[in-house]
């Protein structure tokens, strides 16, 4: 090809780029900076491998095992019958005439539809969500915590993620040179780092203590804040309890220490409590930030808090429903009005997700036709998760070069893995983080898809990956056996 032709083609390419409004150079730099490891390059490669298997490409495995994301139903968890029946009736009201459906299902669906304009789930709802559902959420929170919840302080959302982003947006500053500082735990759920990047916030990392069950030390909070306060305006602290990806459960004393720290440093608390039903460790229970804050009394009435809940986790696992709620506590009335204005621009959360939330907070009671089946299914899901949490912890710790803290809650294990120096050099040659290099090889050789710890954050010099405990018990056993074989071969290869 002649030099003139090459130059002509390059010039044409540049002209085409110049005709575009958006290029990599002109796109919002905050969006370009965003990363979301849970659906990152390894997961994309997993999708490609699935297509290759479907097209007959020979692999040393027959299927990809997706242990990368907390998508309960995708790996075989069965839906809760009552929840699906109620939502189904809301979406398709002719089902209300079905003689096979229990009467309490029909009553619940009619109740929800009664809060919809025109009696249809296809109509817009109030921007903060259907009022009677918000009242049910408030009643649920009041009963859970023993302190009153005003439904006017509750808004429904398209999953907890949507609510978290709504509240974080309120906390941003108008000065790019002095951005809002948001404290997030490391390891963290990548939603927080991605949203901080998208909004141009400054991320203040505080490290969880791996040697102490991924505990949260207030001294570490102070260290992190002091080291970064000159680079930003510290505005908020995010806490995930139970933890994702670490699976730890905070004690009540620990939560009280965090609240006192937030009061002292004038920080808004964002409490991610979507795994509140998922507690497995003996002697531990869920304590909401709202309850502990309320127990601290009048001296803490200026500590602002937003807590988040979702239908995607717990025993429900309804990730695709995108149902969530947020309660805001101690918010200035004028600020709450601005929050509602901001929400109104999104019109409303999706109605099936709102209906699903109502089933979670307003579930069948003893004596109702659906109660026994509902309790049986709910109990079974949580019992199986408990078994898988203990099994995963035990089997991982039996493997040489692997250490894993107890999976106390949530749906994940975050084991620490030994990666030999030879493998670290090989990763550098490929331009990959060592744990990403490890996870890519795990995927290519076994079909197991997990997420490298570098996508969640970790202390320098340590390597991890996150895996879910959601596959069935036989699948978990098989997955961990395949992982053990791979890990030992990896150590032999690179030692």
pLDDT in tens, 233-288: 999 999 999 999 999 999 999 999 999 999 999 999 999 999 999 999 999 999 99
Residue 345 pLDDT > 90, yes or no? no
DSSP string spanning 437-456? HHHHHHHHHH-EE-EEGGGT
pLDDT tens sequence across 72-115: 888 888 999 999 999 999 999 999 999 999 999 999 999 999 99
Range of the domain at 132: 124-361
Domain count, the chain: 2
Verify that 343 and 408 share a domain, yes or no: no
Reported confidence tier of residue 299, pLDDT bands at 50, 70, 90: very high
Contact 192, 161 (CB under 8 A): no
Verify that 301 and 405 share a domain, yes or no: no
Which CATH number is 64's domain given? 3.90.1150.10
Domain for residue 369, yes or no?
no
Average pLDDT of the chain?
90
Domain for residue 54, yes or no?
yes
Q: Which bin fits 62, alpha (ψ -120 to 50), beta or left (φ > 0)?
A: alpha
Verify that 154 and 271 share a domain, yes or no: yes
309 forms beta bridges with 325
Verify that 230 and 316 share a domain, yes or no: yes
Burial class from Cβ neighbours inside 10 Å (0-12, 13-18, 19+) for residue 203 reads buried
Distance CA 102, CA 215 (A): 46
Verify that 272 and 419 share a domain, yes or no: no
Pairing of strands 416-417, 402-403: antiparallel
- Domain end among 330, 361, 392: 361
Q: Which two tokens stand for residue 133?
A: 């559902």
Reported confidence tier of residue 31, pLDDT bands at 50, 70, 90: low
Q: How far is CA 315 from its chain centroid?
A: 15
- Domain end among 331, 361, 391: 361
Distance CA 43, CA 49 (A): 10
Please report the pLDDT score of residue 17 as a whole number.
55
pLDDT tens sequence across 59-77: 888 888 888 887 888 888 8
Distance CA 41, CA 400 (A): 28
Verify that 263 and 336 share a domain, yes or no: yes
- Domain end among 361, 387, 405: 361
- Give the pTM: 0.88
C-beta atoms surrounding 320 within 10 Å: 15
Domain for residue 7, yes or no?
no
Domain for residue 342, yes or no?
yes
Residue 392 pLDDT > 90, yes or no? yes
Domain for residue 485, yes or no?
yes
Verify that 148 and 269 share a domain, yes or no: yes
Helix (H, G, I), strand (E, B) or coil at 154: strand
Verify that 179 and 272 share a domain, yes or no: yes
Percent of the chain with pLDDT over 90: 67
Distance CA 313, CA 295 (A): 27
Reported confidence tier of residue 341, pLDDT bands at 50, 70, 90: confident
Residue 1 pLDDT > 80, yes or no? no
Residue 37 pLDDT > 70, yes or no? no
Residue 11 pLDDT > 80, yes or no? no
Please report the pLDDT score of residue 294 as a whole number.
96
Residue 39 pLDDT > 60, yes or no? no
Which CATH number is 266's domain given? 3.40.640.10
HSE (side-chain half, CA atoms, 13 Å) at 189: 23
Distance CA 70, CA 77 (A): 11
Q: Using only the alpha carbons of the chain, give its radius of gyration.
A: 24
> Where are the alpha helices (H) located in 118-268, listed in sequence order?
131-145, 159-170, 190-199, 218-228, 252-265
Q: What is the mean pLDDT of residues 445-467?
A: 90
Reported confidence tier of residue 10, pLDDT bands at 50, 70, 90: low
Verify that 353 and 383 share a domain, yes or no: no
Domain for residue 366, yes or no?
no
pLDDT tens sequence across 233-246: 999 999 999 999 99
Verify that 353 and 386 share a domain, yes or no: no
Contact 210, 242 (CB under 8 A): no
Distance CA 153, CA 335 (A): 12
Verify that 249 and 293 share a domain, yes or no: yes
Domain for residue 86, yes or no?
no
Please report the pLDDT score of residue 35 as a whole number.
59
Domain for residue 350, yes or no?
yes
Local structure of residue 78 (DSSP, 8 states): P
Reported confidence tier of residue 32, pLDDT bands at 50, 70, 90: low
Verify that 316 and 427 share a domain, yes or no: no
């Amino acid at each position: 090809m002649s030099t003139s032709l090459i130059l002509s083609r390059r010039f044409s390419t540049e002209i085409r780029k110049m005709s575009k409004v958006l290029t990599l150079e002109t796109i919002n730099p905050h969006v370009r900076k965003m990363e979301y490891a849970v659906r990152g390059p390894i997961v994309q490669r997993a999708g490609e491998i699935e297509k290759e298997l479907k097209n007959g490409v020979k692999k040393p495995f027959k299927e990809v095992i997706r242990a990368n994301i907390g998508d309960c139903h995708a790996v075989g968890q069965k839906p809760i019958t009552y929840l699906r029946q109620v939502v189904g009736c809301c979406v398709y009201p002719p089902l209300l005439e079905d003689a096979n459906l229990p009467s309490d299902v029909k009553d619940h669906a009619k109740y929800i539809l009664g809060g919809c304009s025109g009696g249809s789930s296809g109509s817009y709802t109030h921007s903060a969500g259907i009022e009677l559902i918000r009242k049910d959420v408030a009643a649920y929170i009041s009963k859970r915590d023993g302190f009153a919840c005003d439904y006017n302080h509750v808004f429904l959302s398209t999953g907890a993620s949507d609510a978290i982003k709504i509240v974080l947006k309120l906390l941003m500053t108008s000065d790019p040179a002095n951005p809002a500082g948001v404290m997030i735990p490391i390891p963290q759920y990548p939603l927080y780092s991605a949203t901080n990047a998208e909004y141009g916030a400054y991320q203040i990392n505080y490290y969880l203590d791996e040697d102490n069950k991924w505990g949260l030390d207030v001294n570490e909070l102070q260290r992190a804040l002091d080291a970064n306060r000159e680079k930003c305006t510290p505005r908020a602290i995010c806490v995930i309890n139970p933890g994702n990806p670490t699976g730890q459960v905070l004690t009540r004393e620990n939560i009280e220490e965090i609240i006192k720290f937030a009061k002292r440093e004038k920080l808004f608390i964002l409490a991610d409590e979507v795994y509140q039903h998922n507690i497995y460790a003996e002697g531990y229970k869920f304590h909401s930030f709202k309850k502990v804050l309320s127990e601290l009394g009048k001296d803490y009435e200026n500590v602002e808090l937003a807590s988040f809940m979702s239908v995607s986790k717990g025993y429900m696992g309804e990730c695709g429903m995108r149902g969530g709620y947020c309660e805001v506590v101690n918010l200035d009335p004028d600020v709450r009005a601005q929050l509602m204005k901001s929400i109104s621009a999104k019109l409303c959360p999706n109605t099936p997700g709102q209906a699903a939330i109502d089933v979670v907070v307003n579930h069948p009671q003893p004596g109702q036709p659906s109660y026994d089946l509902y309790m049986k299914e709910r109990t079974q899901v949580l019992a199986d998760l408990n078994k898988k949490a203990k099994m995963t912890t035990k089997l991982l710790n039996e493997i040489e070069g692997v250490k894993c803290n107890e999976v106390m809650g949530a749906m994940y294990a975050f084991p620490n893995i030994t990666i030999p120096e030879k493998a670290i050099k090989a990763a550098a040659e490929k331009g990959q983080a060592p744990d990403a290099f490890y996870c890519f090889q795990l995927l290519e050789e076994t079909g197991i898809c997990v997420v490298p710890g570098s996508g969640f954050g970790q202390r320098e010099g340590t390597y991890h990956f996150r895996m879910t405990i959601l596959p069935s018990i036989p699948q978990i056993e098989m997955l961990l056996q395949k992982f053990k074989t791979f890990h030992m071969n990896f150590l032999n290869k690179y030692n």
